Amino acid sequence: MNRVRSTLHVIAAIFCAAAGLFSGCGKSPPAEQSAAAQASGAAPQTNDIARVAPAPGSSATKPSPKPVDPMVVLHTTQGDITVQLFPEKAPRTVENFLRGYADRGFYDQTIFHHVEPGLMLIAGGYTAELERKPPRAPIYNESRNGLSNRRGTVAMIRDPDAPHSATSEFFVNLADNPDFDFKPTDEDEVPGYCVFGEVVSGMDVVDRIAKLPTAAQGDFTKVPSPPVAITAIKRLQ
């Protein structure tokens, strides 16, 4: 428990020093309605002479192919990082990351503005001048999706005291960080930090960024030096 408090205090300190922009948490939207059940029908009859062919335009053919999980590449000044996203596990978070920010060019020329050695890299909100880019509305926290903050996974940064406050910032786990996961308890639930993707190529680039020296700049305590910029985030599929 002490380690949980310690790691959460790290994130709290990052927010107080580097962001400090959250004024409250967003309310959870109502649960989504489940899809309507498919109508059942009687199977076509057959006999010894001929088989009954399905009616023209019938949908009783092959099932629809499963969508391919989207992948993006983070082009950075230290090299490329390819990330697979998990829309089935974190649909709102992936939608927010892609359509809310990446597809709009929001991340272009933002930097990795904090390195916590052995813990995480944080990016997605600040320019090289450490000016905050104006984010969109906060999103619902999907941390109870069963995904764990393992090394190489990508998760959303949020205010530790406001579960539904994530906007544009994200972090890459440098180690297994189970303390950041959603935790059910006998008395209450402890919200986690929502994992929505995983590095599938370029983890060497992540480690290289993590090993750069850091410097304090104003309220920012551990900015990589020289700065590491995300020049663009592009979809691969």
Q: What is the pLDDT of residues 142-155, one digit of tens each?
A: 999 999 999 999 99
Given a cut of 60, whether residue 167 has pLDDT beyond it is yes
| Interatomic CA distance for residues 91 and 42, integer angstroms | 35
- Burial class, 150, CB count within 10 angstroms (exposed 0-12 / middle 13-18 / buried 19+): middle
At residue 40, the pLDDT reads 42
Given a cut of 60, whether residue 63 has pLDDT beyond it is no
Region 209-229 average pLDDT: 96
Mean pLDDT (the chain) is 82
- Identify which has the larger pLDDT, 37 or 116: 116
Given a cut of 80, whether residue 42 has pLDDT beyond it is no
Task: Count Cβ atoms below 10 Å from residue 17 Cβ, excluding itself.
Answer: 15
At residue 62, the pLDDT reads 54
At residue 85, the pLDDT reads 98
Task: Count Cβ atoms below 10 Å from residue 105 Cβ, excluding itself.
Answer: 10
Region 34-41 average pLDDT: 40
Query: What is the third-level CATH fold of 2-20+68-235?
Result: Cyclophilin (2.40.100)
- Identify which has the larger pLDDT, 13 or 197: 197
For 109, list phi and psi in degrees, rounded to 5: 65, 25
Question: pLDDT band at residue 84, thresholds of 50, 70 and 90?
Answer: very high
Region 193-222 average pLDDT: 97
At residue 36, the pLDDT reads 39
Given a cut of 80, whether residue 61 has pLDDT beyond it is no
Region 11-23 average pLDDT: 46
Region 181-198 average pLDDT: 91
77 and 231 Cβ atoms separated by less than 8 Å: yes
* Ranges 36-40, 54-58, 157-161: which has the least confidence: 36-40
Given a cut of 80, whether residue 26 has pLDDT beyond it is no
At residue 10, the pLDDT reads 54
Given a cut of 80, whether residue 54 has pLDDT beyond it is no
Alpha carbon distances (Å) from 41 to 35, 37, 58, 63, 176: 19, 13, 12, 16, 49
Question: pLDDT band at residue 186, thresholds of 50, 70 and 90?
Answer: confident
- Identify which has the larger pLDDT, 20 or 119: 119
